[in-house]
Every structure is written in C-alpha cells, then in structure tokens.
Chain A
Amino acid sequence: MRPRASSASLTITDLRKDFGDTPAVDGISIDVPEGSFLVLLGPSGCGKTTTLRMLAGLEDPTGGEIRFGDRVIARGDGTEMVPPAEREAGLVFQSYALWPHKTVFQNVTWPLTVAKWSKEARRARGEEVLSLLSISDLADRYPGEISGGQQQRVAIARMIAPQPKVLLFDEPLSNLDAKLRVDTRGELMRVHRSTGATSVYVTHDQVEAMTMATHIALMKDGRIEQFGTPRELLESPRTAFTATFIGTPPANIIDCEVAGGRLSAFGVDCGAAPASVRGGALKAMYRAGSIEIDLEASASGCLEATFADQVPMADKWVVGVDLLDGTRVSVSRDTPVDLLPGDGIGLRPPQAPDAYFDVDGALLDTEVVR
C-alpha cells in the first residue's frame, strides 16, 4: 500500500448531541494534527461512541462543528451535513458489520463499486488490501465461514480499500479473545502507519489507549475529562477520575481529612497536607508503588484494610485490598502475600501523597512535598 500524502487534521469545536433533554455529548472540543491516532477513552455511556458516529456522519450533531482539515463536515445548527460517504472516512464497527451475503472479496470491493471504480481498479485494490491484511486465501469465503479474528481483518480491509483520509474504529477489539486482541492491536498500528491516515479509536480499555494513541481524550458523562498524550494523562492526571482510570494498576484515591497541616483517614495520619488547604476534606492520590503493606493487621501508623486478591504483573505482584469504607486500593510489591481473602492487614502510607484533589476531584495546584 502506498502511504497517502493527503491525510487530514481533525478539529472538533463545542460538539453537542442531545437526545431530547439528555445530553449524550455535552460540548467537547478536540484538535489533533493529521496522521494522529486519537483515542476516545471512557466508561460505557460517556458519549465516546456517539462522538465517533458524529464523525462518521451516522448521527447529526445538535451543536458545535466538526472539521476534517479545512473542510467543515457537520454543523450542529443543521446548515452543513456532509453525507458519510463524502467525508473520506472509513469506519470499523464493533460487530464488524460484514455483509453476510457477500464473499470476503465482495465485501471489500463493494464500496469501490458504489464509488464507481473501474472493474480492474477494484480487482487490483481488493487484492492489494487482502494481501496487506494476509487474508488473500479467504477471498471467496462468506463471513459466516471464517473466524472472528479473520472477520476483523476483513472489516479493516473493507475500511481502507477506498483509501479514506480518516479511519474510525468503534471498539474493534472487544469481541476478540485476549491473545488475538494483542496481535490485532499491532496489526491496527501497522495499518495506521502504512496509510498515514488520521485515526479515531473508541475504547473503554485504557491499556489499548495507552498502547496505541498519540492523543487520548478521556471522556466522562459527555464531557472531556482530560485531553493529552498518554504520558501526560498517566503522569499528570488533572482529575481524580483520570487518576483512577489510567495506569496498570491505576492510582489509588483515598478520602482524607485535613487538620493542622496533616492528612488523616480513618484516624490514621496519611502524611503532609498541602499548605493551601487549612481544613475540610480532600482526596489524596497514592500510586500503587507508593504504599506499603504491613502484614501485621493493626500495626501503628497503618490504615486498617482487608486482603482481597493479588495478581502477578511483569516481575511484581499487585495486591488488592479493601479499606474500611470499601475503597479498593492496589499496592504493587515484589513478593506475593500469603493470606486468604478477608484477612486483615495494614497499609502504610508514604510521607506525602503523590497528588491532591479537592472533594469534586479537581487537581489542587500544590507543590507535592516528598
């Protein structure tokens, strides 16, 4: 496949989608340069798929504007609405949405037929994309006769066949098993690189986002919680939600009280309070590696907790424990613990948290004292 010179930047401005009185997308703005790999990340119902469908042209925005490059493709006031096929965008559906009555080859080339490509051009392009995705030998099969992973490749081949400038993916890996998911992730990044097209990828899996994205828009309740590079989101979360959503394992948030320049939770001292906060409540962020486990259940200076589960991760063990109020805390350590679920243990906080958030989850702009 030849890399395309014409990719397009993507500009979303104050985009809205209201279903009746309920906003599904509540005014979002995103700007990424051409060739980016933008991931729309968030829990289910956060508006990420609706946003993608507005980019594809399958939903009309009720406010704001979408631009591919300089070209306005949709305006929320209804004055501009470029039909899906004229946006030079391709979409891979979560269900793949292959046409069950067409063979693999027909699935890939039918969009070219619709676009009035010549017969030779269709054949050549069809063979090209099938071989790019290593599915040439499936050309004459029907979708019902091939595996889920192969169907996924057909869906990707069908999307890139008309050489779109923007590639859209709606949770394309969620129907695959774990191993296939990792392999296909690599495949998708290869397709992205070889086409050079700007990609928008919807997922609820932060690992996928961290692996593939050049930019992540973390969404919640129809709004963008934080927009940035994967590294920015991981290292400098601006909200408590971002902190608990990103990372493997994600950071821990513990509700604390402030008194006399110190933090405390459940009556146990949790380190220094930020100078700007004199009293009241706040949320303290601790990374998994910042907290230690004391196997003695009621060790002094430790938060009381109960052991829940543990899982090996790379050369560490991530131990999950529950605080008294049910808050789940993940701690990473070198060795597994020898406990049964429900056994009491202690959590020893560091001298100071890794970050502070106010009770609404917004980052408190404070020099973190280590």
Chain B
Amino acid sequence: MSTAPAPRRTTVGRTVARARTALTRPTVVLGAGTLLVLLVLVMAPLIGLVNTTLQSDNRQAWSDVFASPMSQNLLWRPMGNSILMGVATAVGSTVIGGFLAWVVVMTRVPGRRLLGLLAMIPFALPSFALALAWESVFRNDLVGGSTGILVNLGISVPDWLAWGPVPIAATLTAHYFSLSFMLIAAALAGVNGDLMEAAEMTGASTLRVAKDIALPVVAPAMISGALLAFAEGVSNFVSPALLGLPVRFHTLSTRLYGAISTGDVSRGYVLSIVLILVAALIMYASTRVTGGRRSFETITGKGGRRRGVELGILGRPVAGLAWLLVTCTTIVPGIVLVLSSLTRHTNDFTSGLTLHYWIGGSDPALAQGQPGVLNNPQILQATWNTVLLGVCVAIGAGVLGLLISYVITRSSGPKWLVGTLNVTSFVPFLIPGIALGAAFIAQFGAPIGPLPSLYGTFAILVLAGIAATIPFSVRSGTAALSQVSKDVEESAVMAGAGLFRRIGAIIAPLTARGLFTGGVLVFVQMVRDLSLVVLLATPAMPVLAVLTYQYSSENFTQLANAVTVVIAVISVAATIIARRFEGAAQPWNSNS
C-alpha cells in the first residue's frame, strides 16, 4: 500500500516495480511454465532429431538417403509408395465416406441411424484391426507361414489381393473413410431443410440446388477429409508393415522403422524428417482449407427436416450398397477376428475351434508354447502397462491441455507468449506418430547431462503420449472452458481466489464433463495406437498394440487377433463408461 502523492521514481525503479507487479500475475508465470513444458515435450525432440543427423558421425546419412545408389530403395521408391497409398486412401475415403454421409443425412434409407453409428466405428478401432482381419481372410502361401480362411477353404487368392498396394489401400480406406464420413455428414447436416427449401422456392432444379447450395457448403469438409486421409495414408505404419513388408513393399514409415530397429539409426532419423515434412505440408494445407483444427464433430439429429431425397427405383440398390460397405468394414472384420482367434490351426475351421489362445496354458504344440492371452504373463503385463499408459497420458495431457487452453483463451498475457503456445501446442498434430517416436528416441534415448536415458522406460511412453495428444487436449480444454463464462471466473477473482484456487474450485468442477470426455478419448487413442509406441516400447516394457504387431509378425495369428479383440473391448468399454458418468457428475444440472 502506498500513499499519495505518487513518489517520483527513476526509470529503473519504475521498471523494477512494473516487473514486480507483472510477476504477481500468476497467469504470466503459468504461461511461461506451460510453454517451457511444451518446448521440452514438442520442440526438443524435433530439434534433437535434426541435431542428431547433423553430428559429424551421422552427416553421411543425408547423402546416403538422398544421393547414393541406395537412395532409390531407401527414399524414392518408399516415398512414391507412401504417396500412392495417400492418394488411394484419400480418394477411397472421400468416395465411400461421402456416399455414406449422403445416404445417412439426405435420404430415407431404412435404418439410417444405425448405418450412421456403424460408419463411425472403424475410426474408433485400432487401425491394425482391419489389416489383421484382411490377413486372416486373404493371406496366401506366397511368403510361407499359415494361410488365410479363403485358401484354407480351397479358394486360391491371387498375390495382388493378398499382399502389397491393393490390400494396404483397401484396409487404410476402410479405416479412414470414417473420418471423411463424420466431417461430411456434419457439414451436410448443417445444410438444413430451410436452406434447401429456400433454394427450391426459387424454382431451381434439384440438381442445381445440389450443385449451387449443398456442394459449396460441404466442399471444405470433403477437401479437409480427403487431405487428412491423404496424410494418414502417407504416414500409416501398420497396414504397410503387415501387408507390404513380407513382399518388400516399403513406405517411408516402414523404411524408417526398419532402419531404426536394425540399428541404422541416423538414416532412420533422416527418413523421419522427410516423413514429417511431407505429412506436415499436407496437414497444414488441410487446416488452411477448414480454417481451423481438426474437428471431431458428431452428427446431431436435425429435427423437422421435411423429406429425404426420393431415390425411386434406385432405393434398394443404394441401401444395399451402403449396408454392404458398413458391414464389410465393421461387422465382418469383428467376426473374422473373434472366430480366427478361436481356430486351432490358424484360420482353418476344419481344424476345430478352441479357447486355447484365450485361456489355455503353455502347450509346446501350439504357438511355440505361448499360453492364451488371459493366461499369459507378458500380455497381462502389457495390458496393465497399456491401461496405465492410457490413464497417465489422459491425466497428463488433460491437465496440461487445460492449463494451456486457459492461458490461450483467458489470460491477458503477452501476445508473443500466447501466440507461441498456440502454435507449439498444434505442432504434434502435423507429425506422424512413428516419426514422433523416432524424435523421442533421438532426444531422450541418450542421457542428457545428469538425467538418465529414458529409452525403454515407462516415462518415455507417457511423455511421447502427452506430446502426441496435446493438440487434441488443448482443443477439448478450450471447448470445455468456453462453458465457463468469463464473468463467473472474474467474480471469483473479486472474492480473492488466486489462480490455482479458481481453477480448482470454479473451473475444474464446471468443466469436469468436457474434460472427462476428452480424457477418455485420449485414453482410447493411446490404447489403440501402434505407430507412436512401436519404436518406444521394449520387450521389458510391452504394450498391447506392439505385442499384437509382434505376434502377427511371428505368425501367432490367433494371439494377435485375440489381443486386438482385447484392445477393442477396452476402447469400447471406456467409451461406454464415459457416457454413463457424464450425466451423474453434475447434480446442479439435474433439475434444469
């Protein structure tokens, strides 16, 4: 407290006094703190990645990759394959997703609601589920090992259908069309009945209304969905790894995984940088098109829409096609995975069904003595690790995301700080999971000063998980914060509650629902993710997704499929529990 008149101060004195008052602002401290954490989690690994390749021992890797006899096999052909997969995924996803969105939102095909629900499922499942299911059905004897259901039934499967670009593109499309579907359906639902009717009142033909009114509204969602599918297709690891590697069909992701896992680390890092640049370019283009971050909008039923598009004679074929598509991408793979995990000899129903791979003990005659998944200490350890990883990442990313979104949306902090936070928290969105994993090894895989190497620890998995999910957490934090008006918080300021007390007593209870839902989505994302953890998990620190991949590579198909079913069950259960809790957490909303 000071008394009037204001003492005359020197410039220095005034600066000190000003700095002192600025430092009493916890938001400034909070902003600086969260930025520091982000820099360590996001920027440091990227810098470490680039830095490692520039060390004198490793510089050779750049010329190896870009200008050497190996370049063709190391970089250019995989890159061509990556882009080919990206284009195929983008086209396939947009066509299928767009078609289903149109059927669900604009027509009156029977069972549209269920159709819409099923069309969203593939994206919620692990992306290796479809690749494994494909393998279980179509695998032939080209590379040896056990064969798929069709071959075992005596139906020969051509190589192009069993291996390489066609099955990879098909499984990627079957996974990512879901995303296009969600984006396009949300946009179509926004073209509500009134808007269309207003256009029809002018006397325009149906085709013209579709072209001039509906298409422009939906176009950004279509383009955005296509670009996202493209970026995912370019960088996806598991489909090319399962369906391409055995026949030496390489993409950038499998090449960099191969390089790093065989000890050829610096070339792997260079390939990671290339992959990051390719993916970042596309993702950046996508966000420019939509003018924002990826949205996971769900379709809300718009009441009062007066009528659907009349399909006439085409009604049955259209409905049949739509049902066929969702059945083949959700129900059929599910059944295949479950049944396949029950066959005594891989994918051979004539050998009889058994629960051995689920509950059996070690039997040297089956899967080299690996016990069933529910009886297998390694799998139980991996399940525990996976769940714990999901929980830790969900909590860590949730807290960090809330704090960052708080600084971004609420603080009157310096512009550069808010801007840097905003950009940095968005960066991981541009980085493919497998490349981010590589970057984490590059930065934290070796001791830094007194800090030990984190390679093979649980900590590196959690840190990488938080880094990978922070764009989503910031986004859901921002959405949750928008539920708390600024006034409500300022009235707590007036009451004398400090920043952390406000966050604890006012903001957290009021945003609990949104934060919890966001946390569950992060949890599910971590449980089903493979590409981020495939380089980071070690045999001593196993997680389920990596085990699946290993079992599949070692041809323990039943085990791989059984673990995939476990992952799917955990993901779906978490989602259902989240829904249950949503309503109960806020008693003050019960009567209104």
Q: Which residues of A contact B (CB under 8 A)?
A: 56-58, 65, 67, 70-72, 75, 77-86, 89-91, 93-101, 110-111, 114-115, 142-145, 158, 162
Assembled-state Cα–Cα distance A95/B489 (Å): 12
Decide if B491 touches A91 in the complex (CB within 8 Å). Answer: yes
Decide if A97 touches B592 in the complex (CB within 8 Å). Answer: no
Chain B CB within 10 Å, residue with most, of A58, A82, A143, A162:
A58
A-B contact pairs, 16 of them (CB 8 A): A77-B18, A78-B17, A78-B22, A79-B14, A79-B21, A83-B24, A93-B487, A97-B485, A99-B510, A100-B488, A110-B505, A111-B494, A111-B495, A114-B495, A144-B591, A145-B591
Could you say which residues of chain B place their CB within 8 Å of the CB of A84? 493-494, 496
The listed residue (B6, B493, B586) touching A85 by CB distance below 8 A is B493
- Given known contacts A71-B3, A79-B21, A85 and B494 CB-to-CB distance under 8 angstroms: yes
Overall SS of chain B's interface: helix
Q: Across the interface, name the chain B residue whose C-beta is closest to A162.
A: B495
Could you say which residues of chain A place their CB within 8 Å of the CB of B586? 101
Minimum CB–CB distance for A34 against chain B, Å: 16
The listed residue (A71, A85, A95, A145) touching B495 by CB distance below 8 A is A85
Could you say which residues of chain B place their CB within 8 Å of the CB of A71? 1-3
Assembled-state Cα–Cα distance A89/B495 (Å): 9
Q: Across the interface, name the chain B residue whose C-beta is closest to A155.
A: B491
Could you say which residues of chain A place their CB within 8 Å of the CB of B487? 93-97
Minimum CB–CB distance for B198 against chain A, Å: 32
Q: Chain B contact residues (Cβ within 8 angstroms of A): what range?
A: 20 to 34
Q: Across the interface, name the chain B residue whose C-beta is closest to A111.
A: B495
Decide if B4 touches A67 in the complex (CB within 8 Å). Answer: yes
Could you say which residues of chain B place their CB within 8 Å of the CB of A72? 1-4, 6
Minimum CB–CB distance for A70 against chain B, Å: 6
Chain A CB within 10 Å, residue with most, of B485, B490, B495:
B495
Q: Across the interface, name the chain B residue whose C-beta is closest to A164.
A: B494
Decide if A115 touches B496 in the complex (CB within 8 Å). Answer: yes
Q: Is residue B497 within 8 Å, beta carbon to beta carbon, of the partner chain?
A: yes
Instruction: Give residues 455-498 of B contacting A (CB, 8 Å).
Output: 485, 487-488, 490-497
Could you say which residues of chain B place their CB within 8 Å of the CB of A158? 491
Decide if A99 touches B494 in the complex (CB within 8 Å). Answer: no
The listed residue (A89, A97, A101) touching B491 by CB distance below 8 A is A97
Decide if A58 touches B18 in the complex (CB within 8 Å). Answer: no
Minimum CB–CB distance for B361 against chain A, Å: 52
Could you say which residues of chain A place their CB within 8 Å of the CB of B2? 71-72, 80
Could you say which residues of chain B place their CB within 8 Å of the CB of A83? 24, 496
Assembled-state Cα–Cα distance A58/B6 (Å): 22
Return the 6 tightest CB-CB contacts between A and B, nearest first: A85-B496, A111-B495, A97-B487, A78-B18, A79-B17, A97-B491
Chain A CB within 10 Å, residue with most, of B9, B490, B496:
B496
Q: Is residue B589 within 8 Å, beta carbon to beta carbon, of the partner chain?
A: yes
Could you say which residues of chain A place their CB within 8 Å of the CB of B589? 144
Could you say which residues of chain A place their CB within 8 Å of the CB of B591? 142, 144-145
- Given known contacts A77-B14, A79-B17, A93-B487, A58 and B493 CB-to-CB distance under 8 angstroms: yes
Contact bitstring B1-15, A, C-beta under 8 A = 1, else 0? 111101001000010
